[in-house]
Amino acid sequence: MPSTVALTGASGFIGQAIANQLSQAGVKVRGLVRTHPKIPGLEHPNITLINGSLNNLESLHTLIQGCDSLINCAGSIRGRRREDFIATNVQGVTNLLKVCLSQSFPPQIIQISSLAAREPSLSSYAWSKQEGERIIQEQADSLKWVIIRPPAVYGPGDKALLPLFQLAKKGIALQLGPHEGKFSLIHVSDLTDVIVRCLEADTIRSTIFEVDDGFPNGYSWESVFHVLNPHIKGHLRIPPKLLWLAGKSNEILSQLFRYSPLFTTGKVAELCHTNWVCDSLEARKQLEWVPQIPLAEGLRHLFASDNLMISKKN
C-alpha cells in the first residue's frame, strides 16, 4: 500500500468514502478541495486538505509532489453541453497528467471514470468521461495507470439514487427507464475496496476495469424495487417521451435561472439505454477482489442508520 495518496474530488460522495477508508488504514491522504477549509467527514488526522482545482496547475503540483499514487475522483456530473464537462473531465485530466509527468518520481494514476464512457454518443457527460480515458491512454507515456468504470454507485452520502430509493420505500416505484433495461450497481464501500486493491497491486497497469456488486446479468428496475419494498403499491413508468420533455424543460429552466442541471436530455438518453451491465470478471481475477455487499444488505444498512445523512452538503 502506498504511504501518501493524492485524491481529487475529496469533498464528493465517492471521494469522501475513499479518503476515509485510506486514512483509517494508515495512509496519508492529500485531498484536493475547491472550497470549505474544513469538511465534516474529512477530519481524520491522516487527511490533509489542499485548496485548489483541476484547473489550477499550481495547486496540482502541491497536491501531487511526493505522492506515490494519485486517485482522480473529481468529476463534473452536471451540465447541458459538452463545454460544461470539458474543464473538469477532459482538461482536468490533461492537467493532472502534465503535473504527474513533470515529477521525478511520478505517481501511479487511478482514474475514476464511469460505465457511461462505454457509450459516448449518448450524452455530453458520457463523451467527456470517454475523452478523459482517451487522454490517459494516449498521453500517460510511461506512467502506470488504471481506469475504473463504476456503474451507478449508492451508499451513505449519495444523493442521485437516494430520492428514488426513498420513494420506493414509501411504496411508490418511479421507473425512469425502459422495462427491458438492465443495469449494474455497486455499493460505495465495494468501490473503495477495489480502489485499495488497485493501489496494492503493484503489477497491474494500463488496464480498464468495470466493477459491480457481483449480481449476475444486471438488475431490472422491478428487481431493485422489489428489494427495496416487496409491498410496493404504485408503479409509475414514465414514458421516454415524457422523460425527454422533463429533461428539456429542466435544461431551459437551468438557462433561465443559471444553475447546472443534472437531469437533462443527455441523462434521459443514458436512462433509456437498455444495457448498463458491467463485466467485472477481469477486476475480480486480476485484483483478487470479491465484492462484499449485495444490494439487499447495502440498502438495509443505508436505511437502518443515520448513514443517509453523512455528507458535507446535507
Ligand X SMILES: NC(=O)c1ccc[n+]([C@@H]2O[C@H](COP(=O)([O-])OP(=O)(O)OC[C@H]3O[C@@H](n4cnc5c(N)ncnc54)[C@H](OP(=O)(O)O)[C@@H]3O)[C@@H](O)[C@H]2O)c1
Q: By C-beta, is 105 or 168 nearer to ligand X?
A: 168
Could you give the dihedral angle defined by the CA atoms of residues 31, 214, 286 and 114, in that order, rounded to the nearest 10 degrees? -40
Stretches 28-36, 102-110, 241-249, 290-298: which one binds ligand X (CB under 6 A)?
Answer: 28-36
Which residue of 6, 7, 11, 227 would you call a contact of ligand X, by CB under 6 A? Answer: 11
Determine the size of the site formed for ligand X (CB under 6 A): 28
Q: Which of residues 137-166 bind ligand X (CB under 6 A)?
A: 150, 152-153, 160
Which residue of 20, 21, 23, 53 would you call a contact of ligand X, by CB under 6 A? Answer: 53
Stretches 68-76, 136-144, 269-277, 282-290: which one binds ligand X (CB under 6 A)?
Answer: 68-76
The half-sphere exposure of 252 on its side-chain side, counting CA atoms within 13 A, is 6
Spatial contact of 186 and 212, defined as CB atoms under 8 Å apart: yes
Shortest distance, position 10 Cβ to ligand X, whole Å: 6
177 binds ligand X (CB under 6 A): no
Stretches 75-83, 98-106, 170-178, 246-254: which one binds ligand X (CB under 6 A)?
Answer: 75-83
Alpha-carbon span 7 to 21, nearest angstrom: 12
305 binds ligand X (CB under 6 A): no
35 binds ligand X (CB under 6 A): yes
Could you give the dihedral angle defined by the CA atoms of residues 144, 148, 149 and 153, in that order, rounded to the nearest 10 degrees? -160
42 binds ligand X (CB under 6 A): no
Stretches 7-15, 163-171, 199-207, 255-263: which one binds ligand X (CB under 6 A)?
Answer: 7-15
- Between helix 265-272 and helix 124-139 the angle, nearest 10°, is 80
Residue whose C-alpha cell is 513533470: 102
Q: Which of residues 243-282 bind ligand X (CB under 6 A)?
A: none
Spatial contact of 42 and 224, defined as CB atoms under 8 Å apart: no
Alpha-carbon span 74 to 296, nearest angstrom: 28
Stretches 53-61, 197-205, 288-296, 297-305: which one binds ligand X (CB under 6 A)?
Answer: 53-61
76 binds ligand X (CB under 6 A): yes
74 binds ligand X (CB under 6 A): yes
Which residue of 5, 6, 9, 280 would you call a contact of ligand X, by CB under 6 A? Answer: 9
Alpha-carbon span 70 to 63, nearest angstrom: 9
Q: Which of residues 77-106 bind ligand X (CB under 6 A)?
A: 77, 87-88, 92
Run of H or E including 4: strand 4-8
49 binds ligand X (CB under 6 A): no
User: Is 269 in a helix, a strand, or coil?
Assistant: helix
Q: By C-beta, is 108 or 114 nearer to ligand X?
A: 114
Cβ atoms within 10 A of the Cβ of 277, count?
19
Write the CB contacts of 142 (distance below 8 Å, at least 6 apart in sequence).
106
